[in-house]
Structure 1
Amino acid sequence: MSLKTQIDAFEVQKKANVPADILNLMDVTTEKLIAEQLSEHALKVGDKFPAFELPDSKGKQISSTELLTKGPLVLSFYRGGWCPYCNLELRALNNMQQAFADQNAQLVAVSPQLPDESLSTQQQNELAYTVLSDVSNSLAKKCGLVFTLDERLIPVYDQLGLDIPKANGDESYELPLPATYVIDSQGVIQFAFAHEDYTLRAEPLDVLNAVKALNHV
């Protein structure tokens, strides 16, 4: 089943269970973010991806230099384990983890969550790949992905039990756009997806095909 099919099914459930006024506010704030065209300033194919060193879910520092010595890097930015769309994407990538490994691709997910929160996300989704903590969105900012959650959504998120300050360790409410990059051994982006609409995600099969194309150049 494609990731889009899974997300479409979740959308049906959400519309059946979430009050109409909240759904409307989510739509309005998403449309506002789309209008700001933040993704136009995000890193694109052909750009050099910034070198980084971030802690994994157990606190070990992981560097992009180290990862790229092993093969292409597939990097997926997600908002947090509190986001159901992110969890669907994380699991969909995990289901294809072996296919990525067969292409010598290193699959890595990145969020602004603290390492302990990243560990919870990794365990709850039974992820077999590396999950990194980009605290304060330092890497996401270099990629042009960061926005501040619309203040109108803060009480709604509180009502839904989504505690972003606890997950991220700050009160900024800064989040990354969902984004996926395929980066070659020279650190150059060969596939890029970023969108202001958090319900839209890169299809894992498209990402895998980008890796395969890279390996056959």
Structure 2
Amino acid sequence: MSTTSSSDSAADAVFDATGIAARAKRAGDLAPDATLPDGAGRLVRLSDEWRKGPLVLVFYRGGWCGYCSLQLRAWHQRADDLARLGATLLAISPQTPDHSMRTAEDNQFTFTVLSDSNLEAASGFELAFTLPPELVSFYGSVGTDIPVLNGNGLWVLPVPATYVIDEDGRIRFAHIEEDIRKRAEPADVLRAIEDMVRGRALAAASAP
């Protein structure tokens, strides 16, 4: 990944002050439901997806975020592993549907990218936070107009997070990272899914 910038250090300090890492949904919690559009405007309901099998949710800041792009590209390379486990991955950012589609098309992602412009999912998982004035000034100065990219007029972003949700809507894995340079490793997430699938199979085999 790229070297740490002063903006990253400032963002880390902001995240530390929000307390979001302590409030956000964790393993064992029931996942909040949400219905979000994909890049083409088709609505996707999270609960419909997790009822099909293991669901991975990746909350990212936007296509403009280099760390997010690295994370999503790493997941793109694990498409076969997700398919083997019968798992679905949905990437969620507050970008508008057209910006979400551009992110998916530019990177040729095989998974679905959803738009959370109204912050329904980010707020449900308690990941959303309002940027302080110094970060608003910084992002404005480098041409990252978040209110326009997100189409909601707000300087609000989600803390990057990765979740695994089971067929009952229970969160089985949660990684909420205040340091925007760090993300859950796909290998760790896949191991959590493997454990979940194995546990389901054992329970089914032992049922009368």
Establish whether TM, by shorter chain, passes 0.5.
yes
- Does 1:47 pair with 2:29? yes
Counterpart Cα distance in 2 of 1:26 and 1:51:
31
- Does 1:204 pair with 2:191? no
Report what 1:3 is aligned to: none
Q: Deviations over 1:75-127 (max 9, x none)?
A: 00000111111111111111101111110001110011110010001011111
What one-letter code is carried by the residue in structure 2 that aligns with 1:212? E
Report what 1:85 is aligned to: 67
Would you say the 8 A contact 1:72–1:185 is kept in 2?
yes
Cα deviation for residue 159 of structure 1 reads: 2.8
Counterpart Cα distance in 1 of 2:102 and 2:158:
19
- Does 1:164 pair with 2:146? yes
Where does the alignment leave 5 or more consecutive residues of structure 2 unmatched?
Answer: 200-208
Identity in percent? 41
Report what 2:197 is aligned to: 215
Cα deviation for residue 208 of structure 1 reads: 0.8
Query: C-alpha root-mean-square deviation of aligned residues, in Å?
Result: 1.4
- Does 1:73 pair with 2:71? no
Cα deviation for residue 151 of structure 1 reads: 1.5
Which structure 2 residues correspond to residues 1-40 of structure 1 after superposition, within 5 A? 7=1, 10-11=2-3, 23-40=5-22
Q: In 2 relative to 1, CA 67–32 (structure 1 residues): closer, same or farther, beyond 3 Å?
A: closer
Cα deviation for residue 25 of structure 1 reads: 4.7
User: Structure 2 length normalisation: TM-score?
Assistant: 0.91
Which structure 2 residues correspond to residues 84-123 of structure 1 after superposition, within 5 A? 84-123=66-105
Q: In 2 relative to 1, CA 40–118 (structure 1 residues): closer, same or farther, beyond 3 Å?
A: same
- Does 1:173 pair with 2:173? no
Question: How many equivalent pairs are there?
Answer: 199
Q: Deviations over 1:54-94 (max 9, x none)?
A: 11111111112321232110000000111111111111111
